[in-house]
Structure 1
Amino acid sequence: MRLKGIHNLKTFWTGILFLLPISVMIFTFMLVPVFQTMYYSLTNWDGLGDYRFVGLKNYKRILSDASFVSTMYRTLWMGLAIALLTNILGMLLALAVNQAFKTRNLLRSLFYFPKLLPIVLGAYVWGYILDTNNGLMNKLLSSLMGNSVKVLWVDSPDTVAFTIILVAVWQLTGPIMIVYLASLQFVPAEIKEAAIVDGASPARKFFTIILPMIAPGITVNTLIGLAAGLKLFDLPFALTGGGPARASETLAIRIYRNAFQSLDLAYGMAAAFILVVFVLLITLVFVAVTKRYEGRAYE
């Protein structure tokens, strides 16, 4: 009995030892900056000189700023759209390349390739492709339609946000597909074969067998899609700079401009803390929903 207790204690401290490095990193590079951001957001610090506490003044400025609220709503619907589209497309691609055919490994690599490109490089490439006058996309559409087509992909406030969503989906679908592929490997072949023998249609087999069994993958991919969509910065910043007329400006871009271009660092930190809370709350809600579905799938 004593030896068992010593063994359990040794196992406990071994686990603590393995957790310690990542715990220190998370505390140092994630939790400490969040608390520092919250602290300085209650001051008038400009990043250089002295500062004094101003309470919730920065937050009142933010919430009374109509353009900031508009940016928040834009970030929300763009993030949700990116999460939804990447999950739908990633799942469809995973189902397609999970079949047994010769070129499936090549197709997996091609679908994942956009993620390997630096985001800024990808943004510049898409900038040339989507150019209104000489872009490949408009030239291709002109050839298909038989007349001159000039879609203002990134030059119009009405279309730029949708364009950025599509480019973000192009970049993020690969990793989402890989997670779904890994999840599909845990679906027993015997169950799928039994469903075929019972005469289940492909749609029914997917919704009643495959979808519930890959529920953990859905939870993970929901988290990946939401985190990437709600924190979107480098892609719209490199592709449009947040324009035209701030139509593609996200919360992350607005924080950057306030903190580092206008040197209103405390205001920028207040906006950054709002973004942290904003992302955390939305992510927790969606993960809770997907976890609930995951629990039902295993009942």
Structure 2
Amino acid sequence: MSLGDDNGYGNDSGRTDDGYSTIGGTRQTRTRLPDGEGGDSYGAPRRPARKSRSLVTVVGVVVLLIAAIAFANMGGGGGNGNDGGSGNGGSKPDSSSTAATGTKPVTGKNGSIPSGFAHDEQGAQSAASNYAVALGSDGMFNTDTRRSIVQATHDPAVVEDLLAALTKAYSPGFLKNVGLNEDGTTPSGLTFVSRTIPVGTKVVEQSGDTATIEVWCTGLVGMAGQGSTKPVTATWFTISEKLKWVGGDWRIESSSQTEGPTPVNGDNRASTADEIAGAVQGYGGFTYAR
């Protein structure tokens, strides 16, 4: 799902062309799978460029509509795909940037979202990755779970204004446009898919209790099942999260998103709608940590 790059909230004056950023210096992440679960990515053809950016004008809608807005063709064509994830700041990654650090994944939970991240560069990168996953999930399409996700991931000072903006963004018309019923439920016989999968992170800057982390992601969004008119497709984008140390944990103060970097599609055969539905139901998500 792709938000535009011209709005932000909190202390931001507006969206930037940077994607989610990371703390400290230029680094990338490695995923750990403490639950022994695997993931599945679906290499669907790239969607055509979108024609408008109307939805992204809602102040405070940060990373939260990542897959669905792109799928609903309510966002713009995005950037040129060369701005996010590469950046000009920081040093070039070295051979150890993707090596395991020995730091164990967090064990705490704030609802279903990992919490208790370390107050350091690794902790900020892990928090940014896990928050991107939560904010790009199908839980954002339900009013109650959306509130829980936003409260668990954001600075309390921005939560209520953000929720008000999201209530307008997730309108009955928008939900219908992505294939859901107007109340956000999934039509009988179909499986709604909205997942964000971090590929790597980069620290843009870190200073005391603040950090900016970029998270390069791929996303899956669409409706799987027999008779679906909105097949699951893959998107690529970079999210830039400005994090703040609040109440003993990292929380999002503001964020923005850009399109890409997008790799060339491979020669994989596109799976059937039923195969995708089975994969979504059978494979859980990750907990991300350096």
The two structures have a TM-score, normalised by structure 2, of 0.28
Q: Choose between structure 1 and 2: higher strand proportion.
A: 2
